[in-house]
Structure 1
Amino acid sequence: MVTIKYWKEIEYREDGSGPNAILVFHGGHMRAASDSGEAFFIENGYRVLIPSRPGYGKTPLSAGRKAADFADLMAELVADLNIKAVVVVGISGGGPTALQFAQRHGELLGALILQSAVSHDGWPDKSTHRGAHVIFNSVTERMTWAFMRASFTLFSQATLRFMLHSLSTKSPGEALKTISGQRRASLIRVLRQLRSGHGFVNDIHYTVGDVHRISAPTLIIHSKYDGSVDLSHPRFLAAQIQNSILFVSEAENHMFWYSDLYPDIETEMKRFLDSLSSRSRPDQAA
């Protein structure tokens, strides 16, 4: 059972009870209640906070029309919860907000993890930008996702193959070879729950700021076959952030949490998080 909390006008989810905290900025078309791969962090003893970003769930667009504005607001939430520092995780379209948080609130940042993240201002391309305003605006997105839910109900595997065209550079048939059993069922379940609200059309105008200013330990994770956010993004970040590690996974698609190869990514994240304890940094929780 997912429990949603509210702080000011922001809805957020809190899970786990460890001494160290993770702040997750979810991807596009998702919200606080969505599965954002947080199970890994909870299992490794972290307290996880997942706010609905502006325009998603019940968080109003006014909470942050710019990524920097929402990053500032989340710094206030962290302070109000008496958390001294967080590991920030930026996923896909949540990447710009995570990067802005890292630049603007270094005193609260223990480390940064980017997963399939939008990491420079060249996203999306012009055709995707125009298309987003047509099919994902606050009126049409209801019909878009209602159609997709109906398609998944009637033709789940065929609809998954259709979605994989935008998630992977591999053919759907090739991609599905490494998405099996329960992982495939979980991916379908998450895709059925997607909604854009007012959020996605706002996301495509976000900017990442001056990422070379980020000095915190940073892990950049990306699929070699990401069909949604291409490899120019992680490569740009790795070149700009001095204290960074780039891990390019063989996972077959953008949503690599549901890949059979995800355990390799979990191993890399565990190694990175364990390394933080040997560095000189502030305690993460009061």
Structure 2
Amino acid sequence: MPTAAGPIDCVVSGDGPPVLVVHGSPGGHDAGAAMAGFLADGGLRTIVVDRPGYFGTPLASGPTVDGQADLYAALLDALGIERAGVLCWSGGGPSSYRFAVRHPDRLTSLVACAAVSRRYVFTGEKGAEKLIMDTGLGRRMLQLMARYTPEKLVEATIAAEGDLTADELAARVAHIVADPDKQQFTLDIAVAANHSGPRRAGFDNDMTQFAAIESLELERIERPCLIVQGTADSDVRPEYSGFAAEQIPGSELVELAAGTHLAFWVHPDSGPVRQQAIERFRSAAG
């Protein structure tokens, strides 16, 4: 989609009040589509983007978090949409929070899931983890695991994204594999977690931008904000959501006990929280 701020890849589907879906780091439209599945079931129109540097969206369309926020507004202009809700996750947080600050008249409601809300420094992977997450071979290995050993990949993903005891991990994996939608979501996100190839430029830029954050000016956000956080998240720690809840006036923080980085979608108690998000998007749209 050409916009006044530059081209951006997006997938638009469904009918109803529009919701912009902003993926994490790494990510892309595939991860965004997994994030957005429950919204379509709730009668909402979804606009899933590739943030700059991911897949077909040039990094030049918005290399900074402010530039990405402005790109979202330009995309809404190009689509003829006056206002939209925003669902963001993890590394999609900084640009989404800045969209709420810089374009408050374009936002109906914000749902931020385990979202980066201040400076975030990535320390990198080592050894086998680097092979899996940072190479084309690792990407292919993840794809093969998702196809042939899905339960093993679910277990590895949940273990890597949360501080769970052995018993908690076994129970969470059993819960996920017993639910086809939750298992598919976990597998989709696991494959999208590799940041080689078409995600490389976006991921590397994200890490540079996030390490340079001084303030996202969260206290200036005026629209309703639901913040969701798993208490055992080892990727974006709970203090990021706690900080956002403290700074954003009138925000609501929902914590999912022993939830990992994927808690909003796969936690045993996440269903009512997703329904709350749907209701917020629908009611805020008027």
**TM-score, structure 2 normalization:** 0.82
Q: Identify the match of residue 228 of structure 2 among 207, 214, 221.
A: 221
Pick closer, same or farther for the CA change 1:80–1:151 going to 2, 3 Å.
closer
Question: Which whole-Å CA distance do the structure 1 matches of 2:115 and 2:154 have between them?
Answer: 22
Q: Identify the match of residue 234 of structure 1 among 235, 241, 247.
A: 241
Question: Which whole-Å CA distance do the structure 2 matches of 1:246 and 1:151 have between them?
Answer: 35
Pick closer, same or farther for the CA change 1:141–1:53 going to 2, 3 Å.
farther
Contact 2:114 2:238 in 1 (8 A): no
* Equivalent residue letter for 2:24: G
More helix by share: 2
Bigger shift: residues 20-29 or 232-241:
20-29
Contact 2:20 2:87 in 1 (8 A): yes
Pick closer, same or farther for the CA change 1:64–1:144 going to 2, 3 Å.
farther
Tell me if 1:142 matches 2:130: no
* Equivalent residue letter for 1:264: P
Question: 1:60: Cα distance to partner?
Answer: 1.7
Name the counterpart of 1:258.
266
Contact 1:116 1:223 in 2 (8 A): yes
Tell me if 1:113 matches 2:111: yes
* Equivalent residue letter for 1:242: P
Give aligned pairs, total.
267
Question: Which whole-Å CA distance do the structure 2 matches of 1:44 and 1:253 have between them?
Answer: 24
Q: Identify the match of residue 209 of structure 1 among 201, 216, 221.
A: 216
* Stretches of structure 1 lacking an aligned partner (at least 5 in a row): 278-282
Name the counterpart of 2:74.
76
Question: Which whole-Å CA distance do the structure 2 matches of 1:93 and 1:140 have between them?
Answer: 17
Contact 2:172 2:267 in 1 (8 A): no
Give me the CA root mean square deviation.
Answer: 2.7
Pick closer, same or farther for the CA change 1:105–1:136 going to 2, 3 Å.
farther
Q: Deviations over 1:40-64 (max 9, x none)?
A: 2222222111110111121122222
Name the counterpart of 2:37.
39
Bigger shift: residues 181-190 or 243-252:
181-190
Of all paired residues, the percent bearing the same amino acid is 23
Q: Deviations over 1:202-242 (max 9, x none)?
A: 11223362111111111111112222111101110110001
Tell me if 1:161 matches 2:168: no
Contact 2:153 2:190 in 1 (8 A): no
Question: 1:93: Cα distance to partner?
Answer: 0.9
Q: Identify the match of residue 176 of structure 1 among 170, 173, 181.
A: 173
Name the counterpart of 2:14.
16
Q: Deviations over 1:226-284 (max 9, x none)?
A: 2211110111011000121111123632113133332121233245345536xxxxx6x
Contact 1:26 1:32 in 2 (8 A): yes
Contact 1:178 1:252 in 2 (8 A): no
Name the counterpart of 2:87.
89
* Equivalent residue letter for 1:267: Q
3-state SS in 1 of match to 2:9: strand
**TM-score, structure 1 normalization:** 0.82
Question: 1:152: Cα distance to partner?
Answer: 4.2
